[in-house]
């Protein structure tokens, strides 16, 4: 393909990939996007919190307000020598665009911008508003990004009705799957106390490896819930276990565990905590536990926005999108609690975070058309 003939969405994705925006860097992405949006009449407002760049942009003052949300930061590329072309030099081979962020999620951001450009140029007056909420703090700590922008908007009383997050939601083909929620994530750091001693004199010690074994077996086998219409059952995993001094003749004094729940809306955080601690107590263990909720679950129930998104996908691809709540966490968790209907729709996730991350150009163009059609369904 000759560079000057590239479709606008491919050209913009390439420009964004060329910005080495390893989290929490933005590396100029939001400036490029601001200029494009300002040129079609958006009010653009950079929101810097600590070392994180965020962008809030809005066109129109009426409701409903649909917001396109996403992140300009990417995960580190790892050794450049592992890549077949440098990760921050966009390269097109076999109708496929390669580069870090090609899937997660510079392609979707470019598709949002070009879809909105086309829409606003042909429909400058429509009954509602369009917004963009972009951050460079999604792949990292997610402390100074979307959550802070949402706090600011809430203080101002700026209400988002619908939000489309451009995370790579699709499975094999763009539009075959959308995410309508994400599970929550609950961490437990557990210390089981014992009493150190000589292995030859166990009656003078208490071995926490032995005393905890049955409790861990029970925890690993529990059915925490059955899931519900929207969610698979909650899962529990022990990710780290450590005990022992390294010496073969010492009974250890404590055992340390890291555990994680990926939980559905069929159970509450308190229930998970209570059931876990009840098992530790039942087995007579002396323990400490530190709980940390890293993400609350969110869910958009079947309603108007899901129908409009499914209709737009059907119009462009003929596919009936599967509704999913799988995958890790996303910034949708910070937007949904305000009552916004949040849906994630982006390209296929096969090479997200991989070496030689890449997007098929036809998929990218299809995504742009779906976004554009969605705007027509919302406002026409
Ligand atoms: Zn992402």
Instruction: Work out the angle between the directed axes of helices 8-17 and 361-379 (0-180°, nearest 10).
Output: 110
- Count: domains in the chain: 2
Cis peptide before 57 (omega within 30 of 0): no
CA torsion sign, 146 to 149 to 154 to 159? negative
Cα 248 to middle of ligand 1, angstroms: 46
Q: Are residues 154 and 17 in the same domain?
A: yes
Cα 243 to middle of ligand 1, angstroms: 36
Other C-beta atoms closer than 10 Å to the C-beta of 250 total 14
Q: Are residues 309 and 370 in the same domain?
A: yes
**Upper half-sphere CA count for residue 325 (Cβ side, 13 Å):** 25
Q: Are residues 96 and 175 in the same domain?
A: yes
Catalytic residues: 73, 138
Give the pLDDT score at 159. Answer: 95
Cα 100 to middle of ligand 1, angstroms: 11
Residue ranges making up the domain that contains 200: 184-295
Q: Which alpha helices (DSSP H) does 222-360 contain, by range?
A: 269-282, 304-317, 332-335
CA gyration radius, the chain: 24
Give the pLDDT score at 330. Answer: 87
Alpha-carbon distance 20 to 302, whole Å? 38
Give the pLDDT score at 125. Answer: 96
Q: Are residues 29 and 160 in the same domain?
A: yes
- The pairing of strands 65-71 and 162-165 is parallel
Q: Are residues 11 and 36 in the same domain?
A: yes
User: Pick from 245, 264, 295: which residue ends a domain?
Assistant: 295
3-class secondary structure, 96: strand
User: Pick from 295, 312, 347: which residue ends a domain?
Assistant: 295
| Per-residue CA distances from 181 to 68, 142, 265, 303 (Å) | 16, 18, 10, 13
**What's the CATH number where 278 sits?**
3.30.70.360
Cα 149 to middle of ligand 1, angstroms: 17
Give the pLDDT score at 4. Answer: 57
Alpha-carbon distance 142 to 186, whole Å? 16
Cα 127 to middle of ligand 1, angstroms: 31
Q: Are residues 51 and 144 in the same domain?
A: yes
Cα 291 to middle of ligand 1, angstroms: 26
Give the pLDDT score at 248. Answer: 96
pTM of the model: 0.86
Cα 77 to middle of ligand 1, angstroms: 14
The secondary element (H helix, E strand) that includes residue 29 is helix 29-39
Alpha-carbon distance 2 to 5, whole Å? 5
Listed in sequence order, the residues at least 6 apart from 303 whose beta carbon sits closer than 8 Å to its beta carbon are: 341
Give the pLDDT score at 141. Answer: 83
The list of the chain residues with pLDDT below 70 reads 1-4
**Residue whose tokens read 């890291």:** 258
**What's the CATH number where 47 sits?**
3.40.630.10
Alpha-carbon distance 144 to 48, whole Å? 8
Listed in sequence order, the residues at least 6 apart from 186 whose beta carbon sits closer than 8 Å to its beta carbon are: 260, 261, 263, 269, 272, 291, 292, 293, 294
- pLDDT per residue over 66-114, tens digit each? 999 999 999 999 999 999 999 999 999 999 999 999 999 999 999 999 9
User: Pick from 275, 295, 315: which residue ends a domain?
Assistant: 295
Listed in order, strand segments (DSSP E) in 176-246 are 177-179, 181-182, 184-193, 197-198, 235-243
């Amino acid at each position: 393909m000759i560079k000057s003939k590239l479709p606008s969405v491919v050209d913009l994705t390439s420009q964004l990939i060329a910005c080495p925006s390893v989290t929490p860097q933005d590396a100029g992405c939001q400036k490029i996007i601001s200029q494009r949006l300002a040129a079609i009449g958006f009010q653009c407002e950079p929101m810097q919190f600590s070392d994180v760049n965020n962008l809030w942009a809005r066109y129109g003052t009426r409701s409903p307000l649909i917001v396109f949300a996403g992140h300009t930061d990417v995960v580190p590329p790892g050794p450049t020598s592992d890549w077949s072309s440098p990760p921050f030099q966009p390269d097109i081979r076999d109708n496929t665009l390669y580069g870090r962020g090609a899937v997660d999620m510079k392609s979707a951001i470019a598709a949002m911008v070009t879809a909105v450009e086309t829409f606003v140029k042909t429909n400058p007056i429509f009954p509602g508003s369009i917004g963009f909420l972009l951050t460079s703090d999604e792949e990292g700590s997610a402390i100074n990004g979307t959550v802070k922008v949402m706090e600011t908007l809430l203080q101002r009383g700026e209400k988002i009705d619908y939000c489309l997050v451009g995370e790579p939601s699709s499975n094999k083909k763009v539009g075959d799957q959308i995410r309508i929620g994400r599970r929550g994530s609950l961490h437990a750091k557990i210390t089981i106390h014992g009493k150190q001693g000589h292995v030859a004199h166990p009656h003078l010690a208490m071995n926490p490896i032995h005393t905890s074994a049955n409790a861990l077996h029970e925890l690993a086998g529990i059915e925490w819930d059955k899931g519900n219409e929207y969610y698979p059952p909650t899962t529990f995993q022990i990710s780290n276990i450590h005990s022992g001094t390294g010496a073969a003749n010492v009974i250890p004094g404590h055992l340390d565990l890291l555990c994680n729940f990926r939980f559905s809306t069929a159970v509450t955080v308190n229930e998970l905590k209570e059931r876990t601690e009840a098992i530790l107590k039942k087995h007579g263990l002396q323990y400490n536990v530190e709980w940390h909720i890293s993400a609350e679950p969110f869910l958009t129930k079947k309603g108007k926005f899901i129908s409009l998104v499914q209709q737009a996908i059907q119009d462009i691809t003929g596919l009936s999108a599967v509704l999913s709540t799988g995958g890790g966490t996303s910034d949708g968790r910070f937007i949904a609690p305000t009552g916004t209907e949040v849906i994630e729709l982006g390209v296929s996730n096969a090479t997200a975070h991989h070496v030689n991350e890449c997007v098929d150009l036809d998929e990218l163009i299809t995504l742009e058309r779906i976004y554009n059609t969605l705007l027509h369904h919302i406002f026409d």
